[in-house]
Chain A
Amino acid sequence: MTTHIPSPALESYVAADPGLDDAAVWAVEVHLENCAECRARMAEMAAPPLLALLDDVQVAIDRGVRSGPGPVRRHPWRRMVHRWAVWSVVPWIVTVLSAVLAAFLLDRQFPERPSLVLLLAPVAPLAGLAVAWSRRSDPAWEITAGTSRAGLEMLFRRTVVVLATVLPPLALAGWRLGMNPALWLLPALTFTAATLLLGGRIGVDRAAAVLGSAWVLVIVVPAITSADLPVVIRSESLPVWALAAVIGTVLTLLRAGDHQRAPR
């Protein structure tokens, strides 16, 4: 059985009768919150000026809500671009795409020489990583570095963007040249993981410079001068690259705290 507010008590409440003590007011309000019938009875009892005032307030609130500022409606693609894009990487993207295209054309022209696409693949994402996580490329770095999502999560997002930009042209070049995809993909992923891992200690841009320079000096230059395909980018090295990529990624995840500071 539902017990409703007695009419005298409701009338006293509507009239703001000072004789109604706090406990009674509280009991009436608790009941009103859950009882549409009593709310309707109360509305009928309310004096017309009060009802008119309530209507006016409601109209004013509705008008305010409708005319108030709101988010700019954007197409999801534009919203994503504004939220995650780092425009300073555009010149770098053009450079890398040009380098991959040049390597592809040279490989087609001189098939007997060591593949430049394979030699370029490990270091192709590094410049992008360096640019995507540095103070110079993120104007709001000091704010973003102090947020709770700053760190490896943000770095991974930007890394994914870099890889999504670099890997398709490499894949296209490798496919047209008839290469095993693992030959260019595994070194690229390994160097990416190594850059993130080392970047936690010395900064991603410095790590990219160190690893990129080391690869060029130790592997690329001797390969070009000797015209021999280095063993590190032959099929027999693939298990080592796979293992290195996994270890590098696991270590990067374990050292996630290293990236929770401001980019250098």
Chain B
Amino acid sequence: MTARLDNVAKSFGRTVALHPTTLDLGHGVIGLLGPNGAGKTTMLRILSSALPPSQGTVVVAGHEVTGTHAERTDARRRIGYLPQEVVFPRGMTTFGFLDYIAVLKEWTLTAARHAEVRRVLALVDLAERSTVKVKALSGGQRRRLAIAQALLGDPDLLILDEPTTGLDPEQRASLRGLLSGRPGTVLISTHQTEDVSALCDRVVVLDAGRIRFDGSVADLLATAVGRVHQGPSAASGAMQTWRTGTGLIRSVGGSPAAGSQAVEPTVEDAYLLLRSSAPEGATA
């Protein structure tokens, strides 16, 4: 097991961002889904050690993030973290920014550090842009640069908060290839359900600071089987309906209209259905 949150909770004043939560993160790619305000970013910040929990313990690769100074430092050596929003220091080049972060990650030997920076630049396909100022990069390139800093040192636990935001389809596919081949644990918070279905071995759905689902993608899909229909008219009581490219109306949930047929659900369908069944007051 790479990481574990044990009875971890976080409150900001009276606002509970994360209710007491226990979660084991084993090897593989794990998707974290949830609406805005569900507590995803709070959970990721706690796991990355940037934010202390109000209660509970966090252990990464055998080192307690919530423990002593030395334990936390050991844990940090094994974590790579991509925040949701990254603002880059002014005036730095692509290489210079990664070099700076590598220094903060204790890469003290210059030759080894530069080799590591080149390695991660190549991984995110920015090797040719290494001498360019960060401000001259496109949005997608900046996102890839932010991902590159998380990859420095080949961490055991890679925490990515919405990594595919701003990436074009080709770059997203490339990132999927990069992440799927990684050893250790990759935890991805995303709104892109197609990323989850394409990449993740396991999915955790967080809602109003509580875990609503934790299982395989297949298990999540199974919860929606027989509840998604397509036909000439919308299902009554459906939580979401839309007209597809074929002219038929796809309904998620509800009672199917005459002439409708059950279709194979997607992760998005299953997620929407799960959200619709949230207990009163559990939605953000």
B131 touches A72 (CB 8 A): yes
Residues of B within 8 A of A68 (CB): 118, 127
Query: From residue 236 to 280 of chain B, which have CB atoms closer than 8 A to chain A?
Result: none
Report how far A65 CA is from B92 CA in the complex, Å.
24
Report how far A183 CA is from B117 CA in the complex, Å.
48
Q: Which of A74, A87, A146, A257 contacts B69 (CB 8 A)?
A: A257
For chain A, the bracket of interface size reads: 20 to 34
B76 touches A72 (CB 8 A): no
A71 touches B76 (CB 8 A): no
Stretch at the interface among A94-102, A147-155, A225-233: A147-155
A154 touches B104 (CB 8 A): yes
Report how far A69 CA is from B128 CA in the complex, Å.
6
Residues of A within 8 A of B121 (CB): 69
Report how far A94 CA is from B83 CA in the complex, Å.
33
Residues of A within 8 A of B88 (CB): 139-140
- A165 within 8 Å of B (CB atoms): no
Q: Chain A CB within 10 Å — which of B68, B105, B128 has the most?
A: B105
> How does the 8 Å CB contact mask read for B127-167 relative to A, with 1 for contact and 0 for none?
11011000000000000001001000000000000000000
A140 touches B86 (CB 8 A): yes
Q: Which of A71, A140, A151, A261 contacts B95 (CB 8 A)?
A: A71
- A177 within 8 Å of B (CB atoms): no
Residues of A within 8 A of B90 (CB): 87, 139
- B172 within 8 Å of A (CB atoms): no
A145 touches B50 (CB 8 A): yes
- B51 within 8 Å of A (CB atoms): yes
- B27 within 8 Å of A (CB atoms): no
Shortest CB-to-CB span from A134 to chain B, Å, is 14
> How does the 8 Å CB contact mask read for B79-121 relative to A, with 1 for contact and 0 for none?
1010101111111110110011101111000000010011001
Q: A70-B130, A82-B92 are in contact. Are A147 and B100 (CB under 8 A)?
A: no
- A144 within 8 Å of B (CB atoms): yes
A148 touches B105 (CB 8 A): yes
Q: A144-B104, A148-B76, A148-B77 are in contact. Are A139 and B49 (CB under 8 A)?
A: no
B70 nearest CB neighbor, chain A only: A257
B97 nearest CB neighbor, chain A only: A140
Residues of B within 8 A of A72 (CB): 93, 95-96, 131
Report how far A87 CA is from B92 CA in the complex, Å.
12
A86 nearest CB neighbor, chain B only: B89
Shortest CB-to-CB span from B190 to chain A, Å, is 18
- B45 within 8 Å of A (CB atoms): yes
- B52 within 8 Å of A (CB atoms): yes
- A262 within 8 Å of B (CB atoms): yes
Shortest CB-to-CB span from A8 to chain B, Å, is 41
B91 touches A82 (CB 8 A): yes
A84 nearest CB neighbor, chain B only: B100
Query: From residue 62 to 81 of chain B, which have CB atoms closer than 8 A to chain A?
Result: 68-69, 72-73, 76-77, 79, 81
- B230 within 8 Å of A (CB atoms): no
Residues of A within 8 A of B50 (CB): 142, 145-146, 261-262
Residues of B within 8 A of A139 (CB): 87-90
Report how far A260 CA is from B72 CA in the complex, Å.
8
- B48 within 8 Å of A (CB atoms): yes
- A143 within 8 Å of B (CB atoms): yes
Report how far A40 CA is from B220 CA in the complex, Å.
62
Shortest CB-to-CB span from A145 to chain B, Å, is 4
A257 touches B68 (CB 8 A): yes
Report how far A149 CA is from B103 CA in the complex, Å.
8
- A83 within 8 Å of B (CB atoms): yes
B68 touches A142 (CB 8 A): no
A150 nearest CB neighbor, chain B only: B104
> How does the 8 Å CB contact mask read for A63-78 relative to B, with 1 for contact and 0 for none?
0000011111010000
Shortest CB-to-CB span from B40 to chain A, Å, is 14
Residues of A within 8 A of B93 (CB): 72
Q: Which of A83, A143, A149 contacts B149 (CB 8 A)?
A: A143
Q: A: which residues have CB within 8 A of B?
A: 68-72, 74, 82-83, 87, 139-140, 142-151, 154, 256-257, 260-262
Q: B: which residues have CB within 8 A of A?
A: 45, 48-52, 68-69, 72-73, 76-77, 79, 81, 83, 85-93, 95-96, 99-101, 103-106, 114, 117-118, 121, 127-128, 130-131, 146, 149
Task: Give 17 A-B pairs besides A71-B117, A82-B100, A144-B104 with Cβ atoms closer than 8 angstroms.
Answer: A69-B127, A69-B128, A69-B130, A70-B95, A72-B95, A72-B96, A82-B89, A82-B92, A142-B86, A147-B105, A148-B76, A149-B105, A149-B106, A150-B76, A151-B69, A262-B50, A262-B51
7 tightest Cβ-Cβ pairs between the two chains A and B: A139-B87, A69-B130, A147-B104, A257-B69, A142-B83, A148-B76, A145-B50
Interface pairs (23), CB distance under 8 Å: A69-B131, A70-B130, A71-B95, A71-B117, A72-B95, A87-B91, A139-B88, A140-B87, A140-B101, A142-B45, A143-B81, A143-B86, A144-B101, A145-B49, A146-B49, A146-B79, A147-B101, A147-B105, A148-B73, A260-B72, A260-B73, A261-B50, A261-B51
